[in-house]
Amino acid sequence: MIDELGKNESSCRKPDDSVDGTVVAGTVVECAKPGATSAIDAAADASAKDSAAMMETFIRGMPKVELHLHIEGTLMPELQIQLAKRNGMMSKLRHKTVEDLRGAYNFEDLAAFLNLYYEGCSVLLNEVDFYDLTAAYLENARRNNVRHVEIFFDPQAHTSRGVPFDAIVNGIHQALVDGEAKHGITSRLIMSFLRNLPADDAMATLEEALPHADKIYAVGLDSNELGNPPEKFRRVFDRAREEGGFLAVAHAGEEGPPSYIRGALDALHVARIDHGVRCMEDPDLVQRLVEGRIPLTVCPLSNVKLRVFGSMEEHNLKDMLHRGLCVTVNSDDPAYFGGFMNDNYLETQRALGLSRSDVVQLGCNGIEATFLTEEKKKQLRLELDTYVNSFPASGLHE
């Protein structure tokens, strides 16, 4: 899965920016222009004419990338019950039917969600389970027109139960290889450390991961944010970078304060911030993120489900986008939060009144924020440009 050009850091660089990433604060990312008209320009021309029906059709058909997706969080109730039965785990589940599981998804904060999330993890016991989980997600991604995905996995949630590290990573990796052959979806795999556990535990997990550096592209940091600042994992990330050649990302600024975003940048040297919505509370931090073109992988439905925002109408994604931040749309844990990529785009667009050009800007940001080579980014930009330029400016009516 690791291309021959080596590991590539994400960047929300405009095509005409200098290689060092220097930009003027407040500039907006554009897709590369294969012809006279870019995707952003074409979308801006059409935005005023869009009906609700046309916008939905446009979003569903738009080629997308996803950068914030926890593979364990894609475990749909049907598959959870299926795996529990296959592995003789039904007696250990609190919720023994699909209907009971769906009813349990009315959690109100991150801690309550994580309890349910880890219960779901308990049915994943072997390489075949992780393969089936990943293959099922890729099928959903195909239906959502996802072309590239960068997937988190949480090995500590499984090795702590006695599941071998090799079984986890090999099952996921093989499904990604097969998924690319079957669906044409490319991928990067990101190993996340659980920040609520000691740093020594993360270091031991990194030790197990080093022999799999050909499969793992980056390391990340997730789970309970409050009380677990990024600085706690400085040594782990230093070693991951120096010995594994791994790039780095981190969850920050979801429930935690803006200072956690600064900590992720300064102590962990991350290439992307996962979530990051609380950056807007710190104008100096916003300026730094804009000038550095540091991507923010925002998950709108997740943010509302976990009460980061009271409603989608209160979400600050549109404000972030219009401030020039490199914000992207992602599904996080779609089985638990009510939607995959199309749902996240659609609900956000409807609630915030995003224009077609806003939606395309989000798509462009996603491409630029990937860990792909510039050549592969160019291919994705061309596909998006072609789609936007071929989509009718009007003709669908409510």
State yes or no: is 254 an active-site residue. Answer: yes
Collapsing DSSP states into helix, strand and coil, what is residue 135?
helix
* Residue among 107, 58, 53 nearest 358 (CA): 58
Active-site option among 254, 255, 347, 368:
254
| CA separation for the pair 324, 297 (Å, rounded) | 14
**Other Cβ atoms closer than 10 A to 53:** 11
| CA separation for the pair 21, 201 (Å, rounded) | 35
| CA separation for the pair 239, 242 (Å, rounded) | 5
* Residue among 387, 377, 312 nearest 345 (CA): 312
| CA separation for the pair 250, 241 (Å, rounded) | 14
Amino acid, res. 293: R
Q: Are 220 and 186 in contact (CB under 8 A)?
A: no
The set of residues, in sequence order, having a beta carbon less than 8 Å from that of 60 and lying 6+ positions away, is 144, 145, 342, 346
Q: Which residues are catalytic?
A: 254
